[in-house]
Amino acid sequence: MTLAAPAPVRTLGRRARVDEMTRLAAVGALWLSLLLVTYWWVADGGVRDLAGWASGLTSLGRWTGLVASVLLLAQVLLMARVPWLEAAFGQDRLARGHRLVGFTSFDLMLAHIVLITWGYAAGDLARTPATLWDLLTAYPGVLLSAGGTVALVLVVVTSVKAARRRVRYESWHLLHLYAYLGVGLALPHQLWTGQQFTSSTGRTVFWWTAWGVAAAAVLTWRVGLPVVRNLRHRLVVTSVVPEAGGVASVYLTGRDLHRLPIEAGQFLGFRFLGRPGWTRANPYSLSAAPDGRSLRVTVQAVGDGSAAALSLRPGTRVFFEGPYGRLTARPRTREQVALIGAGVGITPLRALAEGLDYAPGDAVLLHRFTGRPLFDRELAVLARERGLGLLQLPGRRRGPGSWLGDGVGPVDDLTALRCWVPDIAERDVYVCGPEAWTHLVRATLTDAGLPEDRLHLETFAW
């Protein structure tokens, strides 16, 4: 096995500080936008109108519509794969923000529809159905916004955890794209009938700029950049190598891969062309550090797309998106690191163990698994040649409240972790695995005194 050149340690902390400033700027821009539209609502008599029943309903309906519009545009930006946001927040934090902003904007949008209709009906609940019909048929753009609302309802319903567990990943991913349609259909209604959008030059500039930035982000990073990178690199499958039961590594090559800005620990979305389901992307992490000539991902057959990937033939063309993810050297601030993974979650950590720069003894990998461990020979080489500390934790989880295997014994998780890695609170810690398992690891690390900014997570959840 040939080891790739690791990232230099001299960059420790610099990129993390840049990311911190980016996070502050992004959150600040969102709050300023919310405060600005609220100020305009107040300036237009929004608070004064609350004194009356019908006018109060209409006023609250306008405010909820304004805030929902800002959050819907923020939702688009969270889905647009903007590189600076991806680097600063990482997939797990973006996913949590995406979920919070999405459900909040949806609730406010529904409140806007109910309150505006009720207010236009002069506060008479019995008149609201007729008023709603009048709004749909007589007001420009409202019928389109109704179609957008239906699309967003479809997205939200399939995003509820109980529903997500019953929907195939490929189907969920396709349905989730309807969010773009829903937001896009709301634009004519807002700009044609919303006085809060067109009553002054400043407001018109603000809203058109916000919509323009959101649309440009989607076209640039969700559409344009993937097309350019695929035309440049032209990835193809070179081989598929079985690793364990239902797990195989897919090796890929292409043109000028040294120009692809990818790091160990990141993942890409893959569409393997020429087979059923190629229109739906599946995310796979690198399982080896990129060397500028080839890429390797390791796939577990847990869905239709991943199962089909195990039977790929050499020469299969690949359309990819990415790279994505922050489980890299980017957030690292310490010389010492700990890598903790479970099952196929070891794949990005295997790449990190190869790609990170560390002195012998400064990196330790804890690998929990059942059955045959993945990459056992490769990890042994890294332990021998790079000085990686390797601790294998075989066996099934010993209980619902523990992330350790049943071979550990009666000692609690925190005591065991401190015994194996006494300075765990002084390291940067990278964790990857199933969501419930990762939650338990996170709780143990927090109890051990690890600061939040030195815990770097990637979970297998959608």
pLDDT in tens, 186-240: 766 766 666 666 678 888 889 889 989 999 999 999 899 999 999 999 999 999 9
Mean pLDDT of the chain: 85
Q: What pLDDT does 164 receive?
A: 58
pLDDT at 326 over 70: yes
Give the list of residues 6+ apart from residue 199 with CB closer than 8 angstroms, or none.
44
pLDDT at 447 over 80: yes
pLDDT tens per residue, range 70-128: 998 998 898 888 999 988 888 778 888 888 888 898 889 889 888 988 988 888 888 88
Place of tokens 């609250």: 60
| Alpha carbons 179 and 255: distance in angstroms, whole number | 34
Tokens, residue 171: 């189907």
| Alpha carbons 200 and 188: distance in angstroms, whole number | 18
Q: Do domains 234-324 and 337-460 have the same CATH topology?
A: no
Neighbours of 24 (CB within 10 A): 11
AA identity, residue 32: L
Q: At what angle do helices 201-217 and 14-43 cross, to 10 degrees?
A: 140
Q: What pLDDT does 193 receive?
A: 63
User: What is the arithmetic mean of pLDDT over 255-272?
Assistant: 93
Rounded to 5°, angle at Cα 171 from 170 and 174: 90
**DSSP E strands, 66-168:** none
pLDDT band, residue 446 (cuts 50/70/90): very high
CA dihedral 77, 82, 84, 90 (to 10 degrees): 80
Q: What pLDDT does 198 receive?
A: 67
Q: What pLDDT does 176 receive?
A: 65
Give the list of residues 6+ apart from residue 450 with CB closer than 8 angstroms, or none.
424, 425, 427, 429
Cα 47 to the chain's mean position, in Å? 38
Give the list of residues 6+ apart from residue 223 with CB closer than 8 angstroms, or none.
none
Q: What pLDDT does 7 receive?
A: 45
pTM listed for this prediction: 0.82
User: What is the arithmetic mean of pLDDT over 399-412?
Assistant: 84
Is 360:348 a contact under the CB 8 Å cutoff? no
In the chain, where the domains are located: 9-224, 234-324, 337-460
| Alpha carbons 452 and 442: distance in angstroms, whole number | 9
Instruction: Give the CA distances from residue 331 to residues 79, 82, 200, 395, in Å, rounded to whole numbers and listed in that order.
Output: 22, 18, 43, 31
pLDDT band, residue 132 (cuts 50/70/90): confident
| Alpha carbons 16 and 84: distance in angstroms, whole number | 12
Give the list of residues 6+ apart from residue 433 with CB closer than 8 angstroms, or none.
340, 341, 342, 343, 345, 368, 441, 459, 460
DSSP classification of residue 189: H
Q: Which CATH number fits domain 337-460: 3.40.50.720, 3.30.565.10, 3.40.50.80, 3.30.420.40?
A: 3.40.50.80
pLDDT at 335 over 60: yes
| Alpha carbons 454 and 47: distance in angstroms, whole number | 44
Neighbours of 150 (CB within 10 A): 13
| Alpha carbons 16 and 309: distance in angstroms, whole number | 35
Place of tokens 């959608």: 462
AA identity, residue 44: D
Class of domain 234-324: mainly beta
Secondary structure (3-state) at 154? helix
pLDDT at 1 over 70: no
Q: What pLDDT does 136 receive?
A: 75
User: What is the arithmetic mean of pLDDT over 145-158?
Assistant: 71
| Alpha carbons 31 and 161: distance in angstroms, whole number | 28
Beta strand 337-342 pairing with 363-369: parallel
- DSSP labels, 16-49: HHHHHHHHHHHHHHHHHHHHHHHHHHHHTTTTGG
